[in-house]
């Protein structure tokens, strides 16, 4: 099967005008313009198959939004090739425009002074959605997202969560095959985040749509994505299954132990790396292959009340990956 999205050696460099501060700087720059380049996306390649839901993650300024804008045809690539559903996005052919959607959590795409429903009607006309499908889709999606009651309320009066849900309905009215979600859960409370996640999951399973999701919340990614692409400074650091990140970047597990009485700390440190010890509770990092054996030694040699072996937190691992990449590139 052909990939739905195919990106090869994509680069997107922004040319930024440099200006000295103050009025004098402004005047000077009128006569002598100086530019520098920002390498927002610097030679990335990946392919995505139909129905995949990919987590596209990375720190601020990594190049995520830029990549999604190139995939949506809002930006022209500096070099490399991009195909989405076989189309070159920057040509903006209407058959292509009808088959994808870009939703940005930080940007309002609905009309601020109109009720969301009016914006839906506008989109219906733009995309030529037939009446019956329009009615069916609006009812179904707004039920799934639990916003039927607020569709006739002016958008400016909606809460952030309600507005984001309405944004999503507007973006899905034409049943796009490909969906780019740029931080759709940003700023939402825990409940609204969960609702949004459940919806994205259900929508992906039901319609087999291909989705790229960016988020700074690891919860979103853990819940929704089997595969993740990690990008930093415009370059891909990792592309693979979420579960394998743990093995690749964190070759350890964490043993959590509660003691009945205070243990001999010097002896405890011989078991593994003692990350924390407080109030008879210890966290010890050990090599993942040795975890079971070392837990056995703890149980037989120490006054243990309770013990669990856990995977390190995904947030910590990702943070580690970024820190290490900083070390690698800053030398
Ligand atoms: N229009 C622009 N002109 C110049 N530089 C830009 C422009 N847009 C983005 N950049 C720069 O390109 C780099 C990548 O930005 P981008 O918005 O793609 O990052 P991001 O991964 O989406 O970050 P965030 O997590 O903060 O949303 C950054 O260094 C940013 O400052
Ligand atoms: Mg962004």
The domains found in the chain, sorted by start residue, are 5-246 (3.40.50.300), 251-311 (3.30.70)
Ligand nearest to the CA of 181: 2
Query: Which pLDDT band holds residue 4 (cuts at 50, 70, 90)?
Result: very high
> Among 10, 18, 65, which is best to mutate for testing ligand 1, by the most ligand atoms less than 8 A from CB?
65
List the residue whose alpha carbon is closest to atom 6 of ligand 1. Answer: 14
- Show the 3-state SS of 239-304: EEEHHHHHHHHCCEEEEEEEECCCCCHHHHCCCCEEEEEECCEEEEEEEHHHHHHHHHHHHHHCCE
> Among 12, 18, 38, 235, which is best to mutate for testing ligand 1, by the most ligand atoms less than 8 A from CB?
38
Assess whether the C-beta atom of 58 lies below 6 angstroms from ligand 1.
yes
Output the pLDDT for position 1: 58
Query: CA-based angle 159:162:56, to the nearest 5?
Result: 110
Closest CA to 241 of 232, 233, 249, 253: 249
Interstrand relation of 53-57 and 227-232 (parallel, antiparallel or unpaired): parallel
Residue 12 above 80 pLDDT? yes
Assess whether the C-beta atom of 40 lies below 6 angstroms from ligand 1.
yes
Q: What mean pLDDT do residues 254-265 have?
A: 95
Residue that the structure tokens 């409370």 belong to: 189
CA of 67 to the centre of ligand 1 (A): 10
Please provide the DSSP assignment of 62-93 as one string: SSHHHHHHHHTTSS--SEEEEEETTB-GGG--
Residue 80 above 50 pLDDT? yes
Residue 7 above 80 pLDDT? yes
Output the pLDDT for position 329: 42
Residue 136 above 70 pLDDT? yes
Percent over 70 (pLDDT), the chain: 97
Which of 104-108, 129-133, 282-286 has the lowest average pLDDT? Answer: 104-108
Assess whether the C-beta atom of 188 lies below 6 angstroms from ligand 1.
no
Assess whether the C-beta atom of 168 lies below 6 angstroms from ligand 1.
no
Assess whether the C-beta atom of 14 lies below 6 angstroms from ligand 1.
yes
Assess whether the C-beta atom of 186 lies below 6 angstroms from ligand 1.
no
Assess whether the C-beta atom of 38 lies below 6 angstroms from ligand 1.
yes
CA of 189 to the centre of ligand 1 (A): 25
Query: Which pLDDT band holds residue 13 (cuts at 50, 70, 90)?
Result: very high
CA of 109 to the centre of ligand 1 (A): 20
Q: What mean pLDDT do residues 165-182 have?
A: 94
Q: What mean pLDDT do residues 43-70 have?
A: 95
Contacts of 115 (CB under 8 A, 6+ apart): 151, 152, 153, 154, 155
List the residue whose alpha carbon is closest to atom 30 of ligand 1. Answer: 61
CA of 218 to the centre of ligand 2 (A): 15
Q: What mean pLDDT do residues 13-31 have?
A: 78
Residue 327 above 70 pLDDT? no
Distance CA 216, CA 98 (A): 28
Query: Which pLDDT band holds residue 328 (cuts at 50, 70, 90)?
Result: very low
Query: Which pLDDT band holds residue 315 (cuts at 50, 70, 90)?
Result: confident
> Among 66, 71, 75, 236, which is best to mutate for testing ligand 1, by the most ligand atoms less than 8 A from CB?
66
Assess whether the C-beta atom of 124 lies below 6 angstroms from ligand 1.
no
Output the pLDDT for position 301: 94
Q: What mean pLDDT do residues 306-317 have?
A: 84
Closest CA to 156 of 166, 147, 146: 166
Output the pLDDT for position 234: 95
The most confident of the ranges 7-11, 26-30, 105-109 is 7-11
pLDDT tens readout for residues 23-52? 777 777 777 777 889 999 999 999 999 999
Average pLDDT, the chain: 90
């Amino acid at each position: 099967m052909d990939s739905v999205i195919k990106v090869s050696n994509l680069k997107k460099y922004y040319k930024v005008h440099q200006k000295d501060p103050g009025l004098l700087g402004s005047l000077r720059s009128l006569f002598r313009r100086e530019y520098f380049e920002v390498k927002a996306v610097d030679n990335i390649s990946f392919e995505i198959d139909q129905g995949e839901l990919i987590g596209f993650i990375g720190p601020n300024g990594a190049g995520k939004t830029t990549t999604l804008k190139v995939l949506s045809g809002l930006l022209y690539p500096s070099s490399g090739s991009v195909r989405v559903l076989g189309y070159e996005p920057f040509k903006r052919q209407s058959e292509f425009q009808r088959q994808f959607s870009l939703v940005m959590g930080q940007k309002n795409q609905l009309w601020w002074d109109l009720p969301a429903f009016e914006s839906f009607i506008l989109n219906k006309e733009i995309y030529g959605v037939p009446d019956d499908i329009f009615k069916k889709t609006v009812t179904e999606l707004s039920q799934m997202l639990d916003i039927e009651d607020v569709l006739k309320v002016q958008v400016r009066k909606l809460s952030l969560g309600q507005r984001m849900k309405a944004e999503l309905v507007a973006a899905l009215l034409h049943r796009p095959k490909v969906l780019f979600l740029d931080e759709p859960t940003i700023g939402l409370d825990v409940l609204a985040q969960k609702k949004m996640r459940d919806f994205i999951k259900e929508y992906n399973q039901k319609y087999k749509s291909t989705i790229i999701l960016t988020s700074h919340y690891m919860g979103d990614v853990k819940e929704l994505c089997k595969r993740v692409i990690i990008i930093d400074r415009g370059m891909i650091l990792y592309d693979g299954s979420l579960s394998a990140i743990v093995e690749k970047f964190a070759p350890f597990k964490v043993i959590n132990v509660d003691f009945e009485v205070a243990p001999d700390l010097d002896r405890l440190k011989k078991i593994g790396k003692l990350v924390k010890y407080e109030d008879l509770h210890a966290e010890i990092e050990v090599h993942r292959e040795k975890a079971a054996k070392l837990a056995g030694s703890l149980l037989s040699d120490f006054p243990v009340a309770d013990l669990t072996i856990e995977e390190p937190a995904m947030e910590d691992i990702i943070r580690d990956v970024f820190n290490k990449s900083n070390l690698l590139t800053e030398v």
